Structure 1
Amino acid sequence: MTLSFRSFARSPRPARFRLLPEDVLGLVVVAALGLLVLAPMAAVVAQAFVPGAFTGQAERAGLSLLLEIFERPLWRRSLWNSLFLASIAAVAGCAMGTALAVLRHSGRMSLGPAMDVAAWAIIILPSFILAQGWILFASRGGIANQWLGLSFVPDLIFNPWGLAAVMALKSWPFAYIAVSAGLQWRMDDYGHAARLCGASGARVFWSVRVPMLLPAVLSGAVLIFIDVLGDFGLPAALATTYRFPTLTYAIYVAINQSPIRFDLAGVLALYVTGIMLLAVLLYFWVLRRRRYDFLGARAQLQAASSLRPGLVANGAAMLALTFALIIPIGASVLVSFTDRISAGIGFSNLTLRHYGFVLETGGAFLSALSTSLWIAARAAVGAGLIAAAAAYVLTFSEFRLNRLIDLTCTLSLAVPGVVLGIGYIFVWNAPAVDRAGLSLYGTEDILVLAGIAGAVPIAVRVLLGAMAQVPPSMLAAAALQGAGLARRIATIVVPLTAAALVSATLTAFGSAVFDLAINSILRPPRLQVLPVYVNRAFEQGEFGAATAATLLAGGLTVAIIATISIIAKAALRRLLRAPS
């Protein structure tokens, strides 16, 4: 008879109210998530209904401020722009990602591995860096007009439809990855039955294959919609080039104007969160209307195809790579080595002065870089520890609040950095918190906490898959031998999931370094941080310095991640005495 760890953990208790070690760990996780995620979100909601609730100037509760969004021209325009961008990008990006995924798994795309790497690279890259690359390429003083003579490009890009296309190019990997996961298994029987009934190949695709992929397609569309609606990088990069207000940028303006309007920021943040929640609820409603469990005993893993590479598939992959990655990143690289964009192409226009300027000893860039790396390192360690504890409790215990932990981690994936930042201001700048001597607003520590909150949900998802592979019987056997919770985690769970733990921590580190939204909203006035330094240099027209700083910081961040990853893998092999 096999004894599972969960049944062992829930054995009869000697005392009625005695907590098991797993329960204590679960309570710690709930407290951490409550402080980092739930409290800021609750503050945003409360502030919208009771203006001034967290600033010591509480007004009468009501809906009057919520309805002002339809009366104020800027707010109304921001709402429309955000919905337009998110909706068009969701449709276009989902279509693009789905088509590329289908072509990728058709076996006729030799650029498939490059597409996989590019998809993850685009997701990881901050949107403001890609947006800045498009501005450098497509603006009237940019590369396309000045170097290539393509005078139609600025008008083609800098309009609502062009911006939606840019956002679709930034977000299509969500649909690509979701649909690729749905294509791992195939049921050829349905297609064969349709062909025997006289259906053409196109009809089989649209009437059989597409409906089977509908959950994955809808998942990709919702992820794109949420990502674009909460994006702050594009409007921040466009601020000096093209007037296109969005809800996220309106939130930023509300807390950076004089006088500061926290009440307006809270209302706009509530609208962003509410729209995202409605999108997720609509997604679940569509899925529950019918069943999609089509896999049967004859299902097979998608095998590598022996078909020869196709021109259409590889041409589509090359176009996607060019417009989604090569153009924006290539534009930034070219500008970083160019003395003046208006001088055109030529050896006389090449320079390294931008790199010399940002690397100047005692310069603002080095200060901003070191500060951001230190903040990101602390945030990554904190996120890794909390995520590991949460994943352990969710996987190996029957803690009563497991559903709350899972729901919090899932919902926080959809919370934009701008909304999270506003919530942190409300919580950590409240008069009661200040009187208790716990106010963190205006300090470096609040950036660390916000970085942890933004990274924990992703780290939890990475670790859940790894911990699911650990047999609970191992933990049960160790517990029967008298090993406590800490020892079981240190000697069993950590060694078996070390690779995933390192990956989750490094992912949190990389995302925290370039988080523009959090740093723009919560940064102390005199603190130099990397994302704000890059964005400010871009706003001031110092394009060479901005791109050089981005490339240097990005290269150093990648080098740090790669080095730590290699060292961690080597240490793990040595610890487990695995053959090299």
Structure 2
Amino acid sequence: MSRPLTGRTSMKRRSRIGLLIRQSTNMPSALSKPHRIGLVKPDTAVGIGISLILLVLVAIPMALVVVQAFMPGILQGDLSFAGLGNLSELFHRRLWRVSLMNSLYLAGYTALFGTLIGGALALVRQKCSSVGGTALDLCAWTMLIMPSFIIAQGWILFSVRSGIAAQWLGATWVYDAVFSPPGLVAIMCLKNYPFAYLAITAAMQWHVKEYQHAARLCGAGPLRTLITVRAPLLLPAILSGMVLVFIDTLGDFGLPAALATTYRFPTLPYTIFTAINQSPIRFDLAGVLSVYLMFILVAAVALYLWLLRCSRFDFLTAKAESGHQLVSKNGWIFTAVAFGFIGIALGIPLGSSLLVSLTENIGAGFVVSNLTLGNYAAVLQSGSALKEALANSLQIALIAATASLIVAFLAAYLITFSQFYLNGLINVISTVTLAVPGVILGVGFIFLWNHPWLGALGLNLYGHPFLLVLAGMAGAIPIAIRVLLGAMGQIPHSFMAAAALQGAGLWRRLLTILLPLTLAAFLSAGLASFGSSVFDLAVTSILHPPGYAVLPVVIDRMFQQGLYGESTASTLIAATLTLCLIQTTQVSVRRLFKHLLQTHQADAPKKLASAEVHHA
């Protein structure tokens, strides 16, 4: 019989166990199996590798963009400092000034009105039926995933003088309404409102009715209560949505690219693109404009953080209640408003693309004699540019998504569960680069991978398809890290610590504990990375090698050449195939994981019985 534990002995043992758990949590490799990297612990080795990857893919290209503005000859090996003279060129070049003002006009008004639309729809979602709320959510996610150039192309086909509105509906006024600065703001609001909608909807999940009741007892009406009580309490979510709308609009490349042949509205991203696609190529101009664009984005994020620090917003109490789907007596009215908005925001651009893809001549109207499947047959015929471009883009997206998912998973693990000394650097890089537009990323990749000293080492990747993979990784890794951090933050550190105490090494803990518990987020991050890489117009337009067909460039080129039927048919084919691949992968992985779990649960009693017999 074992000797009973005294109070002092049990306290010592608990203290020793607590010390072991803390050590295994802070330094999981201390209890792991021997490794090959000398005295370097597994967490440290992984952390150094992830830091180097993020530096090469994100930090160094962004730094070179800034340096290029002050050292224009750096690509030729000239390290002489040119001073601040290049930055002052903005005040002497009319195109630069117009591009800056257009970008600020578009981003500022879109941030304001897009946030108002998102907040209004979040309120509508609470009042309408469950069907209407689900439809609003699906519409928001669809608009968030769809590239802006595809949405813009749909609006152009609807609004041009020979388009659907004028020729089919007789609404000739639509052209002047859409192709104007306020019209472009309206299109961008309908495209980017989901950032504000999703942020505000999430914040409205819980609310305290007593605050509103107190305001109503003091004589405040519903509108005043909304403005003076609910809106201030939701200010962090409102500001978050507004900043996200502003950032995404300011760095948008798809809208001006789609408008290039119809309406002249230069913005900073498109002017940067033209600077590196003219003859002679002006990398110095691209660097200067990129510095201005990055400065505005950093200022917007800094202002947002400062505003949040000015006040406290922790208003929830024990009386907080869930606020989702509080169906009103007149819920059908709110449901009708929801579906009416969906018809405008999603139905017009995508419906216009579908109708144009099924017609032989857009000006002949929607009649039986004008309907055809010839556009689909043309883009699917043997030797068509779409097949090659689709195969190349899917291959690039698959490689980029897989690699970025692995890097993001390890980075999120380091930030959440380890004490690696460069965790702050990893977190900062993955956060700041969320605001970096694809145009600046592409320019930074040119500055890095076209440098003479890399050519001397045989690492000059500029003009090679593999550079598109690296660019896809750079754009996807920060988003995947944010998604995975949310899931890993819900897992107690004791899970990993207990496995370490049992002798499980780092990789076994990652594969058998962390991955199964974060499978949903892991899958979502990977599929989002895949989908965004397929239709990334900005990066592929800048970095694709000559003669190498990629999907966004092929679709945009068809549209610029006036092949609207083939362009829309290619868009719908590619989008349908991509969505089918995403859905199939999602269902297959979940079924496989469910099967593995059931097998493990079925074998567990047998293993336990065997262990008990062996112990006896």
1:77 maps to which residue?
98
- Cα distance in 1 for residues equivalent to 2:465 and 2:249: 28
- Cα distance in 2 for residues equivalent to 1:307 and 1:196: 21
Structure 2 residue runs without a partner (length 5+): 1-13, 32-37, 603-616
Deviates most, 125-134 or 387-396: 387-396
CA apart distance, 1:270 = 1.1
2:387 maps to which residue?
366
Counterpart check, 1:503 vs 2:519: no
1:216 maps to which residue?
237
1:257 maps to which residue?
278
1:83-482 correspondence runs (5 A): 83-107=104-128, 110-482=131-503
Alpha-carbon spacing, 1:577–1:541, altered in 2? closer, same or farther (3 Å): same
CA apart distance, 1:19 = 4.0
Counterpart check, 1:539 vs 2:560: yes
Structure 1 residue runs without a partner (length 5+): none
- Cα distance in 2 for residues equivalent to 1:555 and 1:10: 46
Deviates most, 58-67 or 441-450: 58-67
Equivalent pair of 1:222/1:279 in contact (CA under 8 Å): yes
Equivalent pair of 1:30/1:405 in contact (CA under 8 Å): yes
Secondary structure (helix, strand or coil) at the match of 1:105 reads helix
Match of 1:8 among 11, 24, 27: 24
Alpha-carbon spacing, 1:144–1:55, altered in 2? closer, same or farther (3 Å): farther
2:594 maps to which residue?
573
CA apart distance, 1:58 = 4.7
Amino acid at match of 2:64: A
- Cα distance in 2 for residues equivalent to 1:9 and 1:28: 21
Amino acid at match of 1:577: Q
Alpha-carbon displacement from aligned partner over 1:521-558 (angstroms, at most 9, x marks no partner): 00001100000000000000000010000000000001
CA apart distance, 1:466 = 2.1
Alpha-carbon spacing, 1:37–1:5, altered in 2? closer, same or farther (3 Å): farther
Equivalent pair of 1:109/1:313 in contact (CA under 8 Å): no
CA apart distance, 1:129 = 0.1
- Cα distance in 2 for residues equivalent to 1:211 and 1:451: 39
- Cα distance in 2 for residues equivalent to 1:547 and 1:89: 26
- Cα distance in 2 for residues equivalent to 1:327 and 1:303: 29
- Cα distance in 2 for residues equivalent to 1:110 and 1:490: 39
Equivalent pair of 2:125/2:325 in contact (CA under 8 Å): no
Secondary structure (helix, strand or coil) at the match of 1:83 reads helix
- Cα distance in 2 for residues equivalent to 1:107 and 1:321: 14
Alpha-carbon displacement from aligned partner over 1:505-526 (angstroms, at most 9, x marks no partner): 1111110000000000000011
Alpha-carbon spacing, 1:108–1:201, altered in 2? closer, same or farther (3 Å): farther
CA apart distance, 1:294 = 1.1
Secondary structure (helix, strand or coil) at the match of 2:73 reads coil
- Cα distance in 2 for residues equivalent to 1:517 and 1:336: 24
CA apart distance, 1:155 = 0.4
Alpha-carbon spacing, 1:260–1:281, altered in 2? closer, same or farther (3 Å): same
- Cα distance in 1 for residues equivalent to 2:78 and 2:42: 43
Alpha-carbon displacement from aligned partner over 1:87-117 (angstroms, at most 9, x marks no partner): 1111111100011101212356741100001
Amino acid at match of 1:155: D
- Cα distance in 2 for residues equivalent to 1:5 and 1:490: 20
Equivalent pair of 2:133/2:325 in contact (CA under 8 Å): no
Alpha-carbon displacement from aligned partner over 1:107-148 (angstroms, at most 9, x marks no partner): 567411000011011000000000000000001111101111
Amino acid at match of 2:24: F
Deviates most, 22-31 or 250-259: 22-31
- Cα distance in 2 for residues equivalent to 1:5 and 1:425: 47
CA apart distance, 1:228 = 0.5
Equivalent pair of 2:43/2:418 in contact (CA under 8 Å): yes
Amino acid at match of 1:319: G
Alpha-carbon displacement from aligned partner over 1:380-414 (angstroms, at most 9, x marks no partner): 00111001001111111122221221111111111
Q: How many residues align?
A: 578
TM-score by length of 1: 0.96
Amino acid at match of 1:119: A
Secondary structure (helix, strand or coil) at the match of 2:277 reads coil
Percent pairwise identity: 52
Equivalent pair of 1:395/1:467 in contact (CA under 8 Å): yes
Match of 1:30 among 44, 51, 70: 51
Amino acid at match of 2:99: S
Equivalent pair of 2:450/2:462 in contact (CA under 8 Å): yes
Alpha-carbon displacement from aligned partner over 1:323-343 (angstroms, at most 9, x marks no partner): 211000000000000100111
Equivalent pair of 2:208/2:316 in contact (CA under 8 Å): yes
Amino acid at match of 1:407: V
CA apart distance, 1:297 = 2.2
Amino acid at match of 2:74: A
CA apart distance, 1:273 = 1.0
- Cα distance in 1 for residues equivalent to 2:30 and 2:591: 43
2:62 maps to which residue?
41
Amino acid at match of 2:75: F
Equivalent pair of 1:5/1:472 in contact (CA under 8 Å): no
Amino acid at match of 1:332: S
Q: What RMSD in Å do the two structures reach over aligned CA positions?
A: 1.9
- Cα distance in 1 for residues equivalent to 2:120 and 2:333: 11
Equivalent pair of 2:379/2:566 in contact (CA under 8 Å): yes
Alpha-carbon displacement from aligned partner over 1:60-84 (angstroms, at most 9, x marks no partner): 3311111101210111111111110
Equivalent pair of 2:389/2:554 in contact (CA under 8 Å): yes
Alpha-carbon spacing, 1:96–1:480, altered in 2? closer, same or farther (3 Å): same
Secondary structure (helix, strand or coil) at the match of 2:280 reads coil
Amino acid at match of 1:225: F
2:86 maps to which residue?
65
- Cα distance in 2 for residues equivalent to 1:312 and 1:218: 29
2:575 maps to which residue?
554
Secondary structure (helix, strand or coil) at the match of 2:107 reads helix
Alpha-carbon spacing, 1:8–1:383, altered in 2? closer, same or farther (3 Å): same
- Cα distance in 2 for residues equivalent to 1:18 and 1:191: 61
Equivalent pair of 2:147/2:536 in contact (CA under 8 Å): yes
Amino acid at match of 1:552: I
- Cα distance in 2 for residues equivalent to 1:518 and 1:5: 46
Secondary structure (helix, strand or coil) at the match of 2:127 reads coil
- Cα distance in 2 for residues equivalent to 1:13 and 1:560: 42
CA apart distance, 1:202 = 1.9
Secondary structure (helix, strand or coil) at the match of 1:559 reads helix
CA apart distance, 1:468 = 2.4
- Cα distance in 1 for residues equivalent to 2:423 and 2:539: 28
CA apart distance, 1:188 = 1.2
Alpha-carbon displacement from aligned partner over 1:195-237 (angstroms, at most 9, x marks no partner): 2222222221111111001111111111111001000000000
